[in-house]
Structure 1
Amino acid sequence: MINEPTHRVHAFCDDALGDLDSVGVAAAVAAGDISAREAAQAAVDRAAVVNPTLNAIQHPDFDRGLARSDGPLSGILAGVPSFIKDNTDVAGLPSDQGSLAVRSRPATADHRFTEQFRSTGLGVLGKTTMPEFGFNASTEWETLAPTRNPWHTDYSPGGSSGGSAALVAAGVVPIAHGNDGGGSIRIPAAACGLVGLKPTRGRVVPAAESATLPVDVVSNGVLTRTVRDTAHFMAGTQQFLPAAGMKPLGLVEGPSERRLRVGLVLDSVTGPTDDDGRRAVLATVDRLTALGHDVTEVPIPGDAVAFMGAFTHYWALLGFSTQHFGKRVMHSPDFEKGATDQLTRGLARTFWRHAWRTPGAIRVLKQSEQSYRDAFTDIDVIVSPTLGYVTPKLGHLNPAAGFEVHFDRLIRYAAFTPLNNAAGGPAISLPLAQTADGRPVGVHFSAVHGNEQTLLELAYELEADTPFARIQA
């Protein structure tokens, strides 16, 4: 482990995992250079070194994970160790949803997405931390130690897939599960210097809660350090269950020669982007132009003010449903309503005061799909910041700040990502810049429904043009 004056922490070393990505590990296992057990043991050993600092593992499952690594291997990423986020059922492990209010019992079966995840060949070593019910964009709690960002441990790793992001960025595993209901893959990807793809709605098996939502905003996916890892994972999911009703997605293996029409969005409806985010996007625009792409400034799709009002109301609706119907919503007969945090309780209160807005808010969110599609009539991709401002220090997005202060900060922070969740379109955050003190800054790309291929091809091109910063450099 390197623990530098900047509080940077990682686990990269000369073991079976080395500095390989998932594709590299799978190739080494297939060639017999290492065994799947050696890869899994290296991940366990790395976790022992850095997790006491990062606090990114909610439920370790090392013994079972190591035992399973000795079994038959199949799948595009066979033999690669990984983790699943703590809101997705894994047989034999609880799903605590990041909340002290949940007293869940070990799941009796894998969720269907967990089956899809395992079908790619990934081995599960446990479950990762998340903020309460995934409502926060930072993985921290009022009364518990936070999950820390390995690039600088004073800072947030983002959320809600912050535990997975921290483990991947620190080199414990090369890939880990995340899901995204308002930016929860892309935000921690931006915070931790990773690739974070939110797939098109319906591209992979939906989250457990999706069936009960009036607007399904949640997509499953992964966080990785390389574009090819994300591309291989997505190809593997389609071998398990091809997405119905959209363009097939096979293995995307590199950039395309096609030059794109790129729309530029610099500021959100919640306010101007901070200087680091603005510089990152404008530098990316210069790179895109130099590579031959045509970049033109465009408006935010649809009525951005109406959309943000509708999405924040929907956020509050989810908080109200959880607070008052937690036993049913969380499948937790021991749910303790009084143990939720200030964010969940504040969302519930906010919804109750404005419950009459619900039909209109749902209508706006459903209409956003068409306005989003229309935005791609004359362009192929939209580029924007991932975040309204770069990742803050721990405490800034802590529920202990009080609901009004905390929620205002959240809305300005997660300003760009929610549209893709409501509209259902794919988006990816790429680690294309850094702050002056070396912390990652993400840049966000969106495409029309079903067009993950274009996003991955462009991501390959940008990764090759200027390789992503490495935490161990």
Structure 2
Amino acid sequence: MKPDEYADLDATALAALIRAGEVTAEEVHAAAADALDAVQPALNGLVGERFATPLDHDATGPFAGVPFAIKDLIVHAAGVPQRAGTRLLGEGVPMPADTYLMARFRRAGLATLGLTATPELGFNASTEPVATGPVRNPWDLGRSPGGSSGGSAALVAARALPMAHANDGGGSIRIPAAACGLVGLKPSRGRTSPGPDYADPLLGLGIEFAVTRTVRDCAGLLDAVHGHEPGDRYLLPDPVRPYAEEVRDGSRPLRIALHTTPFSGGGAVDPRCVAATEAVGRTLEGLGHTVEPAAPELDAAAFDDANLVAWTSFLADGVDSLAAALGVEPGPGYLEATTLACVEYGRTLRASDLYAADRVFNATTRAVARFHQQYDLVLTPTMNVPSTPLGHLDADDGSLDARGWYDRIFATAGFTALSNVTGNPAISLPLGRTEEEWPIGVQLTGPYAGEGTLLAVAGDLERALPWAGHRPATVVG
């Protein structure tokens, strides 16, 4: 199999070819290795060396032999060093065991070929860590691929991988999906396991999954890896039927709220993002849905204050725990300037601040739940802008305090963090384009545990507004 042949196929198609014996897994892995080697110098999406051979995986899983990579943050594999985008961990600390989701990736048959880059500890909507250098967007090498799953997104968009692991604490699956022209689903809280390391990562904001090029890959992977593990805090109802069937069969008529004003972070919205979202609304109306302007009533200022508490307390705890274990003092030689500012702010917080943030999150979640009793889905832009230039979100900018850094991030991505707080599923789809041919992401958010409805509509939109032929400038083949 040649790299350009490999690059034309999504994960579902590759798995079918391997299963039918039309190509061997080893031939697919060789093509993937060549593809990764071809784009890595331009994109810098991998951290460290590409693995010489894939990590062990189940040869009978639904995606047996399909090339994959894991983001260098949270999810980890036994024996593989993790750096988390920070100089604090140097060349990486080998992990003692698989996380539960990593074990599920292996059982699904995914052949992991490397680690993908993340900004330092994940707190950035771009992927430009001092530790490993900036990741570049394959649509325009002067622009950011988004963050924090920017390494995964850049490599999948360039077709070096059909899909890759990603995680999302404020938009980190959906933001890079939007910037790179991919499908990015943040599942409901508890749909995938955060264990055994975490019960509720980032005070419940964090969720693990992937970025893909097609909706069917997104649905098929969720079918393969979702589920409760012993000790998990949440036990969601199983889907009524496989998510792949929802995508295949499409949606019923729905009531959809259209909203183009950011929920958090302030910041203006690029008219091109508004226009793309409104155009999708008209397409949905043409598919038989009711679309009307509406939004839940929220206290945006209180939301941002609480979200800042969640992020800075998480960073302070993580950095101080790592520093104590490593026997180092976490200063400028180990941390980027904004990370250090967030850590210092997080250390000043009291237990009462965390409880106050939790009260805001509870009020927000209940307001959104009431809203979803009227509306099946909410349609918004994914980002305030199609993408940002490299350097705009410079995490080593010493002029910014914790709040200044928070505001800088969410001025570019004011639509994504709400579903992290509520735990609702949300998906970004590449349904718009700029005059430069950069993708524009449009987001759909559903009620808690409503992935089936969300994926059914996503499948309809992929058929109505296909994006498979829209390729970036830097692409395999």
1:148 to 121, 136, 154: 136
Offset of residue 82 of structure 1: 0.4
Q: What residue in structure 2 maps to residue 246 of structure 1?
A: 237
Which stretch has the larger CA shift, 23-32 or 346-355?
346-355
1:211 alignment partner, SS class: coil
1:343 maps to amino acid = T
1:390 paired residue number: 386
Partner of 1:202: 190
Aligned partner of 1:129 in structure 2 is 117
3-state SS of paired residue (1:437): coil
Identity %: 37
1:42 paired residue among 31, 43, 57: 31
Aligned mate of 1:77, from 51, 63, 83: 63
Which deviations, in whole Å up to 9, do the C-alpha atoms of 1:242-264 show, x marking residues without a partner? 98332425233324351110011
Distance verdict in 2 for CA 1:207–1:265, change over 3 Å: farther
- Post-superposition offset of 1:359: 2.3
Please state if 1:379 is matched with 2:369: no
| Higher mean displacement: 165-174 or 88-97 | 88-97
1:255-281 Cα distance to aligned partner (Å, 9 max, x none): 435111001111114144211211111
Q: Which stretch of the first structure deviates more once superposed, 249-258 or 56-65? A: 249-258
Does the CA contact (< 8 Å) of 1:255 and 1:458 recur in 2?
no
Measured in 1, the distance between the counterparts of 2:171 and 2:195 equals 14
Q: Which amino acid aligns with 2:339?
A: T
Q: Could you tell me which of 57, 60, 83 is aligned with 1:96? A: 83
| C-alpha contact (below 8 Å) 2:192/2:226 kept by paired residues | yes
> After TM superposition, where is structure 1 displaced by more than 6 Å over at least 4 residues in a row?
239-243
Is contact 2:256–2:292 with CA below 8 Å preserved after alignment? yes
Q: Given the two structures, how large is their TM-score scaled by the length of structure 1?
A: 0.90
1:58 to 47, 52, 58: 47
- In structure 2, the partner of 1:345 is 340
Residue 465 of structure 2 corresponds to 466
2:308 aligned residue? 312
Question: CA separation in 2, counterparts of 1:412 and 1:89?
Answer: 31
Question: What are the residue-to-residue correspondences of 1:164-203 with 2, within 5 Å?
Answer: 164-203=152-191
Q: Distance in 2 between matches of 1:53 and 1:37?
A: 26
Q: Deviations over 1:29-56 (max 9, x none)?
A: 0111111111111111111111011111
Residues in 2 aligned to 1:140 and 1:301: alpha-carbon distance in whole angstroms: 35
Paired positions, count? 455
SS class of match (1:384) = strand
- CA deviations on 1:279-335 (whole Å, 9 max, x unpaired) are 11111111111111101111245333321221122212222223333346xxx5255
Deviation at 1:192, TM superposition (A): 0.5
Where do 1:266-415 residues align within 5 Å? 266-269=260-263, 270-327=266-323, 332-333=325-326, 337-338=330-331, 339-352=334-347, 355=350, 357-402=353-398, 403-404=400-401, 406-415=405-414
Structure 2: distance between partners of 1:170 and 1:233:
20
Are the equivalent residues in 1 in contact too, given 2:259–2:293 (CA < 8 A)? yes
Unpaired runs of at least 5, structure 1: 1-11
Q: Which amino acid aligns with 1:252?
A: A
1:378 to 1:407, Cα distance in 2 relative to 1, 3 A: closer
Amino acid in the other structure paired with 2:466 = P
Alignment of 1:428-467 (within 5 A): 428-467=427-466
**Residues 30 and 240 of structure 1: CA distance in aligned 2, closer, same or farther (over 3 Å):** farther
- In structure 1, how many angstroms separate the alpha carbons of the residues matched to 2:105 and 2:262? 34
TM-fit CA distance, 1:422: 1.4
**Corresponding residue of 2:16:** 27
Alpha-carbon distance, 1:145 to partner: 2.4
- Distance in 1 between the 2:228 and 2:343 partners? 38
Change (3 A) 1:172 1:412: same
Alignment partners' CA distance in 2, 1:257 and 1:138: 34
Q: TM-score, normalised by structure 2?
A: 0.90
Unaligned runs of 5+ residues in structure 2 are: none
Q: Which segment is superposed worse, 348-357 or 101-110?
A: 348-357
CA contact (8 A) 2:296 2:367 kept: no
Distance 1:212 1:445 in 2: 24
